[in-house]
Amino acid sequence: MDVISVIRTKRDRGELSPEQIDWVIDAYTRGVVADEQMSALAMAILLNGMNRTEIARWTAAMIASGERMNFDALSRPTADKHSTGGVGDKITLPLAPLVAACGAAVPQLSGRGLGHTGGTLDKLESIPGWRALLSNEEMLNVLDTTGAVICAAGDGLAPADKKLYALRDVTGTVEAIPLIASSIMSKKIAEGTGSLVLDVKVGTGAFMKTIEDARELASTMVALGTDSGVKTVALLTDMSTPLGLTAGNALEVRESVEVLAGGGPQDVVDLTLALAREMLDAAGIKDADPEKALADGSAMDVWRRMIAAQGGDPDATLPVAREQHVVTAPQSGVLTRLDAYDIGVAAWRLGAGRARKEDPVQAGAGVELHAKPGDTVTAGQPLLTLHTDTPEKFEYALQTLGGSYDIAPAGTSFTANPIVLDRIA
């Protein structure tokens, strides 16, 4: 077996054999296949796709590259959630403690930013002292004592995916449906959770731009999970406009704490509650009220214990970028469009994301929104505030924001998309 023949098979629109898939995943994990060779194969998969048999085998090979976890010793049923990535998507932060406050155990293995989308671990690392890297023993201890843990997948859990995940971010292959599905499901199946709710984003700020592609991805992942004995449900949710009023690491943590305190933007609250209800139902918990758990402070209590258990200080002041730049409305009227992708690219260019897998991110960088589609604005009022430690990045970020919004004449009617577009089970 050699990597060139594997690349050529997929380049020429052939079907990879089980033996080819098993070999290339194992060889890449061991370093026999180089990054540039795997990136060529990933691009061939992006362009030519994989059938269901190939995706299932690729996922199984990713799982087989490492260990599998087991939560049978826990006294609570386990429920996990995964988002395919969006702009301003801080939902995991309030969701994990909320579901834990309602009686489930939430072993949330999360990742870092991919392209224009933010990463949960990057956000949480803006909290002083907080640690993403936990041993399996530490993870189980945090989960057992607080009910929720958000951390990086350990080196032993689907190590092939850890390498490929970082490579996809910097080689333009993030959007490949087979690679998205296998990446997500290999970790979730190996993780050992009993149930899983998938948040599949749809729109300009998502990797799936159309409802048809989102359904294909959701159906593929639901089938992979169900066939592996994990109760799996997917919600298709809107990502044409950023979630909430912030896109950036510390900015989104601050907004998440507002949600846990009973406030925060309505779209973030609505999606958090919708996903919480799905997770609790999948875990078999029927009598819990997540809305009450937000209102009475019990979700906030779990958040504080969870952050502290991972070395973070829940009372610490979050980082603030040294420089700000305000973008104002050029005219009065109704804001009818605020493009999620453009906002995500601007946040990335300001330092909230990375261009190479080894790049650091700025904790305080990002974009703050002062209006959402449907709001009435007046000429000269702030629309966006850009945050960065490196002011020379402002011009680079502003290049992508020139056509990122539309303002219609006053009185123009506007109907927003529902936050949940469909459900796949």
- The residues annotated as belonging to the active site are 82, 161, 168, 183, 187
192 C-beta neighbours (distance < 10 Å), count: 17
Looking at residue 390, its amino acid is T
CB atoms near residue 30 (< 10 Å):
11
Q: In what order do the strands lie in the sheet with 333-338?
A: 376-377, 333-338, 405-408
Q: What is the rounded CA–CA span in Å between residue 384 and residue 367? A: 7
Query: Contact 97/275 with Cβ under 8 angstroms?
Result: no
**Side-chain-facing half-sphere of 108: CA atoms under 13 Å:** 31
Contact, 57 vs 210, CB < 8 A? no
| CB-based contacts of 315, cutoff 8 Å, min separation 6 | none
Q: 114: which DSSP letter?
A: B
- For the chain, the C-alpha Rg in angstroms (whole number) is 21
Q: CA-CA distance, 235 to 274, in Å (whole number)? A: 9
